[in-house]
Chains A and B, each alone.
Chain A
Amino acid sequence: MNALYIAEKAYSSRLLVGTGKYKDFAETKAAIEASGAQIVTVAIRRTNIGQSANEPNILDAIPPSRFTILPNTAGCYSADDAVRTLRLARELLDGHDLVKLEVLGDPQTLYPNMPETLIAAKQLVKEGFKVMVYCSDDPILAKQLEEIGCVAVMPLASLIGSGMGILNPWNLQIIIANAKVPVLVDAGVGTASDAAIAMELGCDGVLMNTAIAAAKDPVLMASAMKKAVEAGREAFLAGRMPKKLYSASPSSPVDGVISAAKKSAV
């Protein structure tokens, strides 16, 4: 399968995963290993002053030497907070500049605030960040983010953490058809078939967290998601058969079927 290129770097896995909501770092690590993901998101938060001396760090469980760490701006509701968070992230990660921008609109829906997202994207691109951006599935806004210079656009399939799946495949397809940068579904995937559908639509990748972390068996679900993304990608590349409405087509030869046994005379 061909590689996914983001900001001119090749990745063999098209599944990107988050590291939130796991029981502990051991489970986080096991799930990420099972997912085969190479790009892994983290959040940036205040350190616990006074209690942090020997606290384990996510970057020890998921070392930047092995994974491409994608710091996000989850929890930011303004362009200013998002930009500040990613400046801190870049310093924290020794100048690593691939980031996930998300500016949220409200805590109930976690729907992206697109005006603020556009402002933040412009500023971050200006400062040399390589911005992968969480966005609404509006094709015009997705195109504007690409034109600003974002390296990937990541429309939601449905609300973050909802597991509702792909609610608007039509908009996703318009975004994919118009985009020159990778399009990844970010948020809303609930189970493996959702990930496969996203990939069959032609998405370049899928980013998920809760679908794996909130499964009864996160490690097994991570493995399922890996296969679903691969299967969906292969199906997309293979090109599905056209749908035939109201007309069947036999799979087996029509000729040469044995004749009905003659009824015996009574």
Chain B
Amino acid sequence: MLCLARTQRVPRRLNSTGIRRPARLDSIFGLLLLLASQFTLQINGVNQVFESGLTVSQLLEHLSLSGKKIAVECNGLLISRSDYTTFALADGDRLEIVVAVGGG
């Protein structure tokens, strides 16, 4: 369900090396390794590694940004606040998290 919500919005990206993961896995061990693998998000230009998949709202909680006056973009597309709890982040996603600051 999470994946469905996500793929409707953002086409799945290649991983960070630009190579698609192999479609077939050689062993159960490989499958387990993949499931347990870390994944990387680029947040405001800085890479951060996370242990497991998470939604935008879980990420914001992790960053102590829940409830703040912010807005979030994933891979160039705005994520509506109402989608934070369902939008699942994937390896290699580029996030922009912005606030209002003084400016003319």
Contact = CB atoms under 8 A, between A and B. Distances in A.
Contact of A42 (B63, B71, B72, B103): B103
Given A19-B104, A88-B96, A92-B98, 7 more contacts: A21-B102, A43-B103, A46-B44, A58-B102, A87-B78, A92-B69, A92-B71
State which size class the interface on B falls in: 20 to 34
Contacts of B78: 84, 87-88, 91
A249 interface: no
B101 A43 contact: yes
A69 interface: yes
Contacts of A208: 104
A45 B99 contact: yes
A49 B96 CA distance: 11
Contacts of B97: 46-47, 49
B64 interface: yes
Interface string B75-97: 01010110000000000000011
A45 B76 CA distance: 15
A28 interface: yes
Contacts of B68: 47, 52, 57
A97 to B, nearest CB: 14
A18 B102 CA distance: 7
A49 B44 contact: yes
Contacts of B65: 47, 52
Given A84-B76, A92-B70, A47 B46 contact: no
B100 A92 contact: yes
B102 A19 contact: yes
Nearest to B46: A49
A91 B71 contact: yes
B102 to A, nearest CB: 4
A27 to B, nearest CB: 10
Interface of A: 17-22, 25, 28, 41-47, 49-50, 52-53, 57-59, 69, 71-72, 74, 84-85, 87-89, 91-93, 160, 207-210, 213
A85 B96 CA distance: 10
Contacts of B80: 91
B43 interface: yes
B43 A49 contact: yes
Nearest to A57: B69
B100 A43 contact: yes
Contacts of A92: 69-71, 98-100
A266 to B, nearest CB: 74
Contacts of A88: 71-73, 78, 96, 98
A209 B101 CA distance: 14
B98 A44 contact: yes
B45 interface: yes
Contacts of B96: 46, 88
Nearest to B43: A49
B101 A50 contact: no
B81 A20 contact: no
A92 B14 CA distance: 29
